[in-house]
C-alpha cells in the first residue's frame, strides 16, 4: 500500500545504477525456486547492463515470478527470458497456467483489478502487484505488456531502455 501511495503522489524514489538484468533474474529465480515445485527454464541473453533501480526492477521480477507460480498448477514450467534490442532490453516471464480471459487483458495493470472468472478470485491478493510493477516500469521509460489465451498460460513482457532519462 505504501508503494501505491508513493506512486499516486508522484513520490516513488528511484536509485539509478548500472544493473545486469541477467544476474538480477538469476538471483530472483534462485530466491523463489526453493518455495515451489515449479521448474524454471532460463533463457538469458541480455548482454549489456541498463541504468535502472535494481531493487525496484527486482520487485517487478519477483511479482511476475510469484504470479506465474500462483496462477499455474504445480510442477509446470516457468520460462524466464531476456534479450537485447537496439535501445534496451526485453524480459519475459511465461507460465503454463490458467491464463487470462481476453476481455480482462486490458485491465490487468489497473489498480485493484483481479481476474474473477473461473474462480480465479480464490487466490490471495489485493490486485496491486501488476499495477505497481507497471508504474515502476513506466517510471523507467519502459513498457510492460501481457499476452494470454485463457486456459493456456500467460506471458508478461517488459522492456527497459539502456539509458534512463529520469523524466518519466
User: In angstroms, rounded to a whole number, what is the distance separating the alpha carbons of residues 23 and 89?
Assistant: 13
Mean pLDDT of 56-71: 95
**Looking at residue 11, what is its pLDDT?**
61
> How many CB atoms sit inside 10 A of residue 140's CB?
26
Tell me what pLDDT residue 161 has. 96
Q: What is the DSSP string of 1-54?
A: -HHHHHHHTT------EEE-HHHHHHHHHHHHHTT-S-EEEEEEE--S-EEE-H
Predicted confidence band of residue 168 (pLDDT cuts 50, 70, 90): very low
- Rounded to an integer, what distance in angstroms lies between the CA atom of residue 81 and that of residue 102? 24
Say if residue 10's pLDDT is above 60. Answer: no
- Provide the 8-state DSSP code for 163: S
Crossing angle of helices 21-33 and 54-70, rounded to 10°: 40
Question: pTM score, two decimals?
Answer: 0.87
Sign of the four-CA dihedral 86, 110, 93, 155: negative
Calpha distance 142→123 (Å, rounded): 29
Domain annotation for the chain: domains and CATH numbers: 2-161 (3.30.565.10)
| pLDDT tens per residue, range 101-153 | 888 888 888 876 566 555 455 554 556 889 999 999 999 999 999 999 888 99
Amino acid at each position: 500500500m505504501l508503494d501505491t501511495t508513493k506512486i499516486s503522489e508522484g513520490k516513488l524514489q528511484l536509485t539509478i545504477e548500472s544493473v545486469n538484468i541477467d544476474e538480477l533474474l538469476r538471483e530472483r529465480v534462485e530466491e523463489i525456486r526453493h518455495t515451489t515445485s515449479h521448474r524454471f527454464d532460463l533463457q538469458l541473453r541480455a548482454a549489456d547492463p541498463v541504468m535502472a533501480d535494481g531493487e525496484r526492477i527486482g520487485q517487478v521480477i519477483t511479482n511476475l515470478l510469484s504470479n506465474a507460480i500462483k496462477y499455474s498448477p504445480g510442477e509446470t514450467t516457468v520460462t524466464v527470458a531476456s534479450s537485447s534490442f537496439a535501445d534496451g532490453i526485453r524480459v519475459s516471464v511465461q507460465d503454463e497456467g490458467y491464463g487470462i480471459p481476453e476481455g480482462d487483458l486490458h485491465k490487468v495493470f489497473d489498480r485493484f483489478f483481479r481476474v474473477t472468472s473461473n474462480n480465479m478470485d480464490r487466490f490471495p491478493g489485493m490486485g496491486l502487484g501488476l499495477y505497481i510493477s507497471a508504474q515502476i516500469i513506466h517510471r523507467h521509460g519502459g513498457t510492460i505488456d501481457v499476452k494470454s489465451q485463457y486456459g493456456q498460460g500467460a506471458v508478461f513482457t517488459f522492456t527497459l531502455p539502456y539509458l534512463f532519462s529520469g523524466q518519466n
